Amino acid sequence: MLGPALDGGYYLLGVKTHHDRLFLDIAWSTEHVTQQTLERAAELDLPVHILPTWYDVDDVVALKMLQAELFEGQSFAPELRPAQARHTRALIQSLVETADLKERLACNAFRRAAE
């Protein structure tokens, strides 16, 4: 099972058994990760069920998308009904309330707009 991410990586990879070769010689942290992984799975004759494309939370833009889904009712993919991520929502809420997450997100957006 592979869930491709918008950035060319993946947000989920599930396998039933260990396959070292599946992860060798992959150009990690590039937009080629999903494609190379699918090619490697084909070489190894592993069946792959591909999930809908989604986003992975590995940068500020994706964190803001997650925040909009959790707190503003916006949906990245309205045709899909994601599960209520109550634990993730609680964690993000606690970070907003007890850390400087809200200010850091706003500062990052301001810095990016100035560039």
pLDDT at position 113 is 45
* Tokens representing residue 58 in the block: 């590995």
Q: Please identify every stretch of the chain with a pLDDT value under 50, giving residue numbers as ranges.
A: 110, 113-115
pLDDT at position 49 is 97
pLDDT digits (tens, 9 = 90+) for 66-94: 888 888 888 877 777 667 789 999 998 88
pLDDT at position 96 is 80
User: How far apart are alpha carbons 5 and 46 in whole angstroms?
Assistant: 20
* Tokens representing residue 37 in the block: 């992984």
pLDDT at position 85 is 86
Q: For the chain, which residues make up each domain, given as ranges? A: 2-43, 60-114
